[in-house]
Structure 1
Amino acid sequence: MLFSAVLLALSVAHAQQRQSALQPIDAMVPSRYDFGLPAWAPRPMEPAANPTTPAKVELGRYLFYDTRLSLDGTMACASCHEQARAFTDGRAVSKGVTGESTPRNSMSLVNVAYFPVLTWANPLLKHLEQQALVPLLGQEPVELGLAGKDAEIVQRLAAEPVYRRLFAQAFPEADGEISLATVVRALSAFERSIVSMRSPYDRYRYEGDADALSDSAVRGEALFFSERLECHHCHNGLNLADTVLHERNKAGEIAFHNTGLYNLDRKGAYPANNTGIAEITGRPEDMGRFRAPSLRNVAVTAPYMHDGSIPTLDAVIDHYAAGGRTISSGPHAGIGRTNPYKSSFVSGFTLTRAERADLIAFLTSLTDEALLHDPRFANPWPKKENAK
């Protein structure tokens, strides 16, 4: 069902791009936008047909927080991506305007510009301009609920005076056109601008500030990158994730993993609505394989895993220390440690109480506090004027 929703969204995207004066999204090039990156950080890639500009980012910020982009005016993109939570929502899974739950946990949008694939388990969604259509138009499940409402979206936005100015500034090549195509391009530009490179760990590791980390966090870093724990195989590099794309790695790297979270039938099965990329590929060996998320800001993005089924960082460590989760009873009962499709890197380990504290100190050092309060990413609508 999720795959059919994606196909619907992609077909609508292509239709909108044909109707618009804009060129279809295609080739990726290094962005020229000023992200405020430190000297050590590479520039992200972006579609050549949708260059990030300050005007487009500002328009996208207004749209991101605008509840007019939902069926009943009660939700916005920001409803499931809160800045204070590193653009996640604090729920196990998200709910749409009809009250229907999505099957997956809301992924952080921080540094999304550095990912060549954009969701937990769909290797086909490679551009934000495509992915944005899924929450806007998808029907299985319904999120923002705007399928078939293209004309109404345009009418709602055109009635807002600030948008006439912002669309004209953002899309002069399209004569300020207000359409689904320009909406998703502006949203994508704003989301690409949400970059986090200012954590204590960044200052310590990349900028030589020896005082940026506590001794405990330094010990935790050594544990994290050790072969004993093997965390670094799936969480490494710029984004502490093994899926990455940027100007120094233009080919990109994409990986999906089974971490032994479930084993319903002793043969490796995951819950039917959350089978990982097997839903797309149809290959049995892809059962339960999901993209490893970035660990940047991980301390503020609980709950964890693709379905939000692990509530705390301490419990996540328990899961990996056991080499897979055991669920003793109920519909999801099973021993994840014996899942035949589980990654070989999830082999289990033991930690002392002090080592566990050090590991959590390291993970906490990945929080970019400035990002969580940066006005560039905050709601621009005055409360009394925000659409309802």
Structure 2
Amino acid sequence: MSAKHANLLAWLPLATALLLSGCGGGSGGVTVVDTTPPAPPGSNWQWQLPSYFPTPKVPEDNPMSVEKVDLGRFLFYDRRLSGNGTMACASCHQQALAFTDGRAQAIGSTGEMHPRSAQHLANIAYSPTLTWANKSVTSLEQQFPVPVFGSNPVEMGINDANKLEVLQRIKDLPLYQAKFAAAFPGNADAISWPHITKAVASFQRSLISANSRYDQALQGKTTLSEQEQRGQRLFFGEKAECFHCHGSFNFNDQVVHANTRVLEIPFHNTGLYNIGGTGAFPAPNRGLFELSGEASDMGRFRAPSLRNVAKTAPYMHDGSIPSLEAVLDFYAAGGRNIVSGPHAGDGRQHPNKSALVAQINLSEQDKADIVAFLRTLTDEEFLTSPRHADPFPK
């Protein structure tokens, strides 16, 4: 086994390793325990995590609190937090869809289409980089201004001309006057953009998804069907090789937590495009290349977490693959060959394609089994929990 494979396998949750070795399930399953260290002075927040979930990393200048998460939930769902008052964070991140929007490409408050799809927010607390292809955005606090104040494309539509007006909308509401005072006690001017940023980031960190049927099977609370178990063995095995990019407890390969010592942030070219055989991807969706200008970065995007993946169609950074079945066909083929149109080209032959993406001999039954396993990653509690839901009356 290569060092790369060993490193990826090291991310497998202990419970998965037990299942793969035939030691899991039944009364020997993994129990849910609170593994959180004692809360710092003044904090009232406690993570409730399975034993195989590490404690999330939280910025020292933005510790978690019940009041801050509560405030962040209101702000996340409030359309007043956009330039024209028509759009909330939740407009592109809907709870029932695992905090995606079901579109191939997101649409901003002014109707401008985003070149990429909205990513889901489940377990976003564990993501060391945010957005599809930017190594420099490394915290939720850094990411917040991108959709809120960005102009290319316009998303929330707040800018220098209207940001004071938008802030005043929030200041004028007694609801927020009380909630900001509770979340940021001792601040004479508690309602501010920095505090809005910290509150929304805190709410996003609270979006923990860890109670899917897969998790329940790890804990001995249920048993996966024979088909789902076959799919699990394929997913974590060398035949399908899905685990190389999706093998952590969060089913991706970029993970940071409170005890991280060595951080890896891989990005991958999966052979989605190869326009005219030149190696090109459609602008402005060219991965890390958009920022680095390095030819080797063409088409390199981060691998998203597969938790709740059955709810997050369509797939890929541009929503160009419509279903899980089509995703399995794509990876089994070792990339995508587009035979006509402006994007025609054989992605399977892309010179920068990841060595982890190669043709795989999967039968139709194999692919159906893997899809069945992927559907066990849906966390119905997460998708319906009042803790994460819209707090405003309909």
In the other structure, the counterpart of 2:77 is 65
Q: Deviations over 1:200-245 (max 9, x none)?
A: 111223x244x33111111101111121221111101111100000
In the other structure, the counterpart of 2:108 is 96
In the other structure, the counterpart of 1:198 is 211
**Separation in 2, partners of 1:228, 1:182:** 49
Amino acid at match of 1:187: V
- Contact 1:260 1:338 (C-alpha < 8 Å) held by counterparts: yes
SS at match of 2:233: helix
Question: Residue 229 of structure 1: which of 234, 240, 243 is its match?
Answer: 240
Question: Residue 374 of structure 1: which of 370, 377, 385 is its match?
Answer: 385
- Structure 1's unaligned 5+ residue stretches are 1-28, 384-388
Amino acid at match of 2:198: R
User: Structure 1 residue 51 and structure 2 residue 63: aligned?
Assistant: yes
**Separation in 2, partners of 1:238, 1:40:** 7
Question: Residue 307 of structure 1: which of 318, 322, 338 is its match?
Answer: 318
Distance change >3 Å, CA 199–CA 382, structure 1 → 2? same
**Separation in 2, partners of 1:99, 1:162:** 30
- Contact 1:31 1:44 (C-alpha < 8 Å) held by counterparts: no
- Contact 2:98 2:120 (C-alpha < 8 Å) held by counterparts: yes
- Contact 2:83 2:156 (C-alpha < 8 Å) held by counterparts: yes
Q: Please, which moves more after superposition, 346-355 or 230-239? A: 346-355
* 1:173 CA displacement: 4.2
- Contact 1:217 1:358 (C-alpha < 8 Å) held by counterparts: yes
**Separation in 2, partners of 1:200, 1:253:** 29
User: Structure 1 residue 118 and structure 2 residue 104: aligned?
Assistant: no
- Contact 1:169 1:176 (C-alpha < 8 Å) held by counterparts: no
In the other structure, the counterpart of 1:18 is none
**Separation in 1, partners of 2:142, 2:262:** 20
Q: Deviations over 1:348-388 (max 9, x none)?
A: 112222222211110000111110000000000112xxxxx
The 5-angstrom pairing of residues 323-338 of structure 1 reads 323-338=334-349
SS at match of 1:67: coil
**Separation in 2, partners of 1:276, 1:327:** 19
**Separation in 2, partners of 1:81, 1:99:** 16
Amino acid at match of 1:163: Y
In the other structure, the counterpart of 2:368 is 357
Amino acid at match of 2:233: A
In the other structure, the counterpart of 2:309 is 298
* 1:49 CA displacement: 0.2
SS at match of 2:381: helix
* 1:199 CA displacement: 0.8
* 1:40 CA displacement: 3.1
* 1:247 CA displacement: 2.4
**Separation in 1, partners of 2:342, 2:300:** 20
Q: Please, which moves more after superposition, 59-68 or 251-260? A: 251-260
The 5-angstrom pairing of residues 274-285 of structure 1 reads 274-285=285-296
More strand by share: 1
In the other structure, the counterpart of 1:145 is 157
- Contact 1:103 1:273 (C-alpha < 8 Å) held by counterparts: yes
- Contact 2:92 2:101 (C-alpha < 8 Å) held by counterparts: yes
Question: Residue 156 of structure 1: which of 147, 164, 169 is its match?
Answer: 169
The 5-angstrom pairing of residues 245-284 of structure 1 reads 245-284=256-295
Question: Residue 226 of structure 2: which of 198, 215, 238 is its match?
Answer: 215
User: Structure 1 residue 239 and structure 2 residue 239: aligned?
Assistant: no
Amino acid at match of 2:280: A
Q: Deviations over 1:286-329 (max 9, x none)?
A: 10000000000000000000000000000001110110011111
Amino acid at match of 2:51: A
- Contact 2:58 2:258 (C-alpha < 8 Å) held by counterparts: no
- Contact 2:52 2:249 (C-alpha < 8 Å) held by counterparts: no
TM-score, normalization: structure 1? 0.88
**Separation in 1, partners of 2:357, 2:313:** 21
In the other structure, the counterpart of 2:333 is 322
Question: Residue 180 of structure 1: which of 189, 193, 214 is its match?
Answer: 193
In the other structure, the counterpart of 1:40 is 52
RMSD: 1.5
**Separation in 2, partners of 1:107, 1:365:** 20
In the other structure, the counterpart of 1:19 is none
* 1:176 CA displacement: 5.3
In the other structure, the counterpart of 2:12 is none
- Contact 1:229 1:348 (C-alpha < 8 Å) held by counterparts: no
- Contact 2:256 2:263 (C-alpha < 8 Å) held by counterparts: yes
Amino acid at match of 2:228: A
- Percent identity of paired positions between Structure 1 and Structure 2: 53
**Separation in 2, partners of 1:251, 1:382:** 45
* 1:30 CA displacement: 8.2
Amino acid at match of 2:289: A
Q: Please, which moves more after superposition, 303-312 or 173-182? A: 173-182
- Contact 1:31 1:43 (C-alpha < 8 Å) held by counterparts: no
**Separation in 2, partners of 1:208, 1:289:** 38
Distance change >3 Å, CA 31–CA 334, structure 1 → 2? farther
- Contact 1:260 1:323 (C-alpha < 8 Å) held by counterparts: yes
In the other structure, the counterpart of 1:347 is 358
Aligned length: 353
- Contact 1:168 1:176 (C-alpha < 8 Å) held by counterparts: no
**Separation in 2, partners of 1:130, 1:60:** 16
Q: Deviations over 1:2-50 (max 9, x none)?
A: xxxxxxxxxxxxxxxxxxxxxxxxxxx9894323212332110011000
- Structure 2's unaligned 5+ residue stretches are 1-35, 40-44
